[in-house]
Amino acid sequence: MSQILICIDESKVDIRCLRELLEKQGHTLTSMILPPGDAEATIRAAAERDIVISGPERWDARAAEACGGKVRLVIRFGVGLDNIDIPALTERGIAVANIPGYNAPAVAELTLLHMLNLSRGFTRAEADYRKAGVVTVGSGNLLQGKTVGLMGFGHIPRQLRRLLGGFGVRVLALDPMLTWDEARAWEVEKVEETETLFAESDFVSLHLPLTPQTAGMVNERLLSVMKPTAYLINTSRGGVLCEEDLLRALAKGWLAGAGLDVTVQEPLPLHSPLFAEEKICLTSHVGGTTLETDQRGQEMLAESILQFLAGQMPENIVNPEYVFHVNR
């Protein structure tokens, strides 16, 4: 039977569902907290495992070299794969997978929450009322009638489009994989220029993976074309947004505010200037975390792992070509 490692803090996430599903089939599941940047810790923890359920720890070429030959599958408890060097693991015959879409409803809901909060100022009104009894009158704007621009149109923005259906908004979508027929079916306007999305939207919502191509993609050039009444929401990856440019853009009045569930550094240090900017509403990368999504994620992990151990190719393997490098 297989030795499986999950890189997670069990004091924060209840993994009884996953443990039961795997141990019922005779496999052993061990949990461990690994520092995100400590490659040596990753190597030591994974050295005798068959499968690793990855958290935020880094899987680079050195880890792949050290663990190749024993570790057969690295599967992310999440969607983003920016902490995994996929080509390096492929070369060592290690399969890589994630669980796409499992948390899409939760992230979409939080994105909508940021939109409503930015437009109506709920958090500030609640804080003023609680601290000083200040009653905020006549502030904020309706979401109805506004234009929402979705940068990316994968699982999460599609869920968000469903949620926006009752708000009477115009929705733009920019995604090279989105066809015109799909755009019509989803009732979104397909745009092909990033500047158009930023210039026409009252809310720009980022839904991008972090890759070398998208790192720092949302910068001063794009922020400068936004409406001064518009808002930016990022619930994808902190690295796709240049935070220094955002602070500068807010200071210059190029946009009205931002809602960030993700930042370049997580957790955000208390001295970060993002905390000092009143036009930014911050949440601590909690978009995909609910009891229901954790349960669904564990079920998807178990299903994929058991398929893999049975000699099948789960559809969420992102590097099927790994098979050509096994035992080389």
Read off the pLDDT of residues 20-76 as tens digits, 9 standing for 90 and up: 999 999 999 999 888 776 778 888 888 889 999 998 888 888 888 888 778 999 999
Percentage with pLDDT > 90 across the chain: 79
How confident is the prediction for the chain on average, in pLDDT? 94
Residue 261: predicted pLDDT: 98
Q: What is the pLDDT of residue 35?
A: 74
pLDDT for residue 328 is more than 70: no
Mean pLDDT for the stretch of residues 126-151:
86
Q: Is the pLDDT of residue 87 over 80?
A: yes
What confidence tier does 11 reach under pLDDT thresholds 50, 70, 90? confident
Residue 37 pLDDT? 67
- End-to-end alpha-carbon separation of the chain, Å? 24
What is the pLDDT, as a whole number, of residue 137? Answer: 65
Q: Where residue 142 falls among pLDDT bands split at 50, 70, 90?
A: very high
- Rg over alpha carbons for the chain, rounded to the nearest Å, is 21
In the prediction, which pLDDT does 64 show? 87
For residue 215, count CB atoms less than 10 angstroms from its CB and return exposed for 0-12, middle for 13-18, buried for 19 or more.
middle
Question: Which of the two residues, 184 and 35, has the higher pLDDT score?
Answer: 184
Q: What's the pLDDT at 279?
A: 97
pTM, rounded to two decimals: 0.89
Report whether 54 contacts 77 (CB < 8 A). Answer: yes
Q: Which of 155, 166, 140, 14 minimizes the C-alpha distance to 77?
A: 14
**What is residue 67's predicted lDDT score, i.e. its pLDDT?**
84
| pLDDT the model gives residue 45 | 84
Provide the pLDDT for residue 235: 98
> Is the pLDDT at 136 greater than 80, yes or no?
no
Q: Which domains does the chain have, with CATH numbers?
A: 3-102+290-325 (3.40.50.720), 104-282 (3.40.50.720)
Rounded-to-integer distance, Cα 242 and Cα 223, Å: 10
With helix as H, strand as E and coil as C, how does 233-277 read?
Answer: EECCCHHHECHHHHHHHHHHCCCCEEEECCCCCCCCCCCCHHHHC
Residue type, 211: T
**Dist CA 204 CA 175 (whole Å):** 14
Query: CB-based contacts of 269: which residues, under 8 Å, 6+ apart?
Result: none
Q: Give pLDDT, residue 108.
A: 98
> In the structure, what pLDDT confidence band is assigned to residue 327 with cuts at 50, 70 and 90?
low
Using pLDDT thresholds of 50, 70 and 90, give the confidence band for residue 94.
very high
| Range of lowest pLDDT (1-15, 196-210, 284-298, 299-313) | 1-15
Residues classed as catalytic: 237, 266, 285
For residues 263 and 265, what is the distance between their CA atoms, to the nearest angstrom? Answer: 5
Residue type, 94: I
Q: How confident is the model at residue 303 (pLDDT cuts 50, 70, 90)?
A: very high
